């Protein structure tokens, strides 16, 4: 994937994490090496690239694909603290770009974003406002007729919050939730129920290797001891949630085929990404591992994140896609969200459970994912 000069902005711009000189030096070496190899190469599939500056943060927006029909898919990536750029290298998103323009936006405190935001601005309300700012910026620069939001994991929660807010743009005609987070409390409870219900059968299955059973037993023991996320400050509560997620991932309970997903992600996150993409890998890693330390830790914000979004306020056609084998964002949680969309009729909402996917259906079942998303978006035009 060709490199862009905008990488210099992410390298030298001030960041949340005050990168060390060593980190900056490594990033500069990465950039110069890639520039040497790729000098003269043009950027493929790119429609527009720009930054949105809002509330102390500078966020990159990369628009790629076919913008001729005016239909744009705004990707709300996972995290908090992930990046949208990884998705540009995934097969179904490249296929979607043949028919529509896809907006890859790095949220604040994520990916290649940088700036000097206050801690109070790292909040759900600010993320919703940022979504609004990105949509306005794209509309100002390009001929937009229809916008479809597509949120993955954390991006699912952000999408619901935006759609339930007063910011909803009239050009937003549809919403796709892919293994999306709900409230942290209900998300945890659904996952815990799944672990306690599912793990005993796996542990007693003679066809499963003991090494895997050890991970299942560890997950079962941990969740049996913790009926909820408990009390305390922000770092206490979300530290437990992150530990819960780590245990699931180590046990291979995020995916239908963990080895396959690891191999596919290796193709995306390997040396080609480090040297031949615009992603500042080290900056991304710092954001992904530090989001909970910089988030607004007020009591009201903790309560907001733990609670579910206002599903009943969603008024645009909605497609929910969820992997049956996702132990973190369970199929049961997806069904609960679907049932909570009470303002939508049966023809305005749909739910698809992928039987050979976990948390990453776009990786485990890419052809089906493309077909379903493409069909949903096409029907909105």
3-state secondary structure of 70: coil
Domain residues of the chain, as ranges?
Answer: 7-182+262-380, 186-254
Task: Mark 116-127 as b/e (b = at least 16 C-beta within 10 Å).
Answer: ebeeebbbbebb
| Cβ neighbourhood burial of 130 (10 Å; 0-12, 13-18, 19+) | buried
The pLDDT-based confidence of 158 (bands split at 50, 70, 90) is very high
- pLDDT for 26 equals 41
The pLDDT-based confidence of 321 (bands split at 50, 70, 90) is very high
Whether residue 211 contacts residue 356, with contact meaning beta carbons closer than 8 Å, is answered with no
Q: How many angstroms from the chain centroid is the CA of residue 219? A: 24
The pLDDT-based confidence of 1 (bands split at 50, 70, 90) is very low
Question: What global pTM score does this model have?
Answer: 0.87
Whether residue 376 contacts residue 320, with contact meaning beta carbons closer than 8 Å, is answered with no
CATH topology of domain 7-182+262-380: Rossmann fold (3.40.50)
State how far the Cα of 363 lies from the Cα of 290, in Å rounded to an integer. Answer: 26
State how far the Cα of 288 lies from the Cα of 283, in Å rounded to an integer. Answer: 9
- Please, what is the end-to-end C-alpha distance for the chain in angstroms? 31
Higher pLDDT, residue 77 or 46: 77
Q: Strand 101-105 to strand 114-115: parallel, antiparallel, or no bridges (unpaired)?
A: unpaired
Tens digit of pLDDT for each residue in 47-57? 999 999 999 99
Please report which helix (H) or strand (E) contains residue 115, including its range: strand 114-115
Tens digit of pLDDT for each residue in 105-129? 999 999 899 888 888 899 999 999 9
Beta-bridged to residue 97, according to DSSP, are none
Positive/negative CA dihedral, 194, 196, 199, 201 = negative
User: Smallest Cα–Cα separation from 102: which of 362, 368, 365, 364?
Assistant: 362
């Amino acid at each position: 994937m060709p490199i862009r000069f905008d990488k210099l902005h992410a390298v030298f711009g001030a960041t949340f994490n005050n990168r060390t000189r060593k980190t900056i030096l490594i990033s500069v070496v990465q950039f110069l090496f890639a520039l040497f190899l790729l000098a003269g190469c043009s950027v493929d599939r790119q429609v527009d690239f720009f930054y949105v500056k809002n509330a102390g943060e500078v966020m990159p927006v990369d628009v790629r694909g076919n913008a001729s029909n005016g239909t744009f898919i705004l990707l709300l990536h996972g995290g908090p603290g992930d990046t949208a750029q990884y998705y540009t290298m995934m097969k179904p998103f490249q296929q979607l770009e043949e028919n529509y323009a896809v907006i890859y936006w790095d949220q604040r405190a994520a990916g290649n974003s940088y700036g000097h935001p206050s801690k109070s601005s790292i909040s759900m309300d600010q993320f919703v406002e940022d979504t609004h700012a990105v949509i306005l910026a794209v509309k100002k620069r390009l001929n937009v007729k229809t916008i479809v939001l597509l949120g993955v994991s954390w991006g699912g929660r952000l999408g619901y919050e935006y759609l339930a807010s007063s910011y909803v743009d009239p050009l937003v005609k549809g919403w796709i939730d892919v293994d999306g987070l709900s409230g942290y409390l209900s998300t945890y409870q659904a996952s815990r129920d799944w672990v306690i219900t599912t793990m005993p059968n796996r542990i007693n299955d003679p066809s499963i290797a003991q090494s895997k059973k050890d991970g299942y037993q560890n997950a079962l023991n941990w969740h049996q001891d913790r009926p909820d996320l408990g009390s305390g400050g922000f770092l206490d509560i979300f530290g437990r949630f992150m530990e819960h997620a780590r245990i699931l991932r180590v046990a291979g309970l995020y995916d239908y085929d963990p080895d396959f997903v690891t191999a596919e992600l290796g193709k995306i996150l390997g040396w080609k990404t480090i040297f031949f993409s615009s992603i500042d890998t080290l900056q991304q890693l710092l954001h992904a591992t530090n989001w909970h330390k910089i988030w607004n830790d007020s009591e009201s914000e903790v309560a907001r994140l733990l609670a579910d979004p206002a599903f009943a306020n969603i008024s645009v056609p909605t497609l929910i896609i969820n992997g049956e084998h996702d132990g973190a964002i369970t199929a049961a949680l997806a069904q609960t969200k679907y049932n909570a969309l009470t303002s939508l009729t049966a023809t305005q909402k749909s739910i698809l459970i992928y039987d050979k996917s976990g948390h990453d259906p776009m990786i485990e079942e890419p052809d089906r994912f493309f077909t379903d998303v493409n069909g949903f978006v096409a029907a909105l035009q």
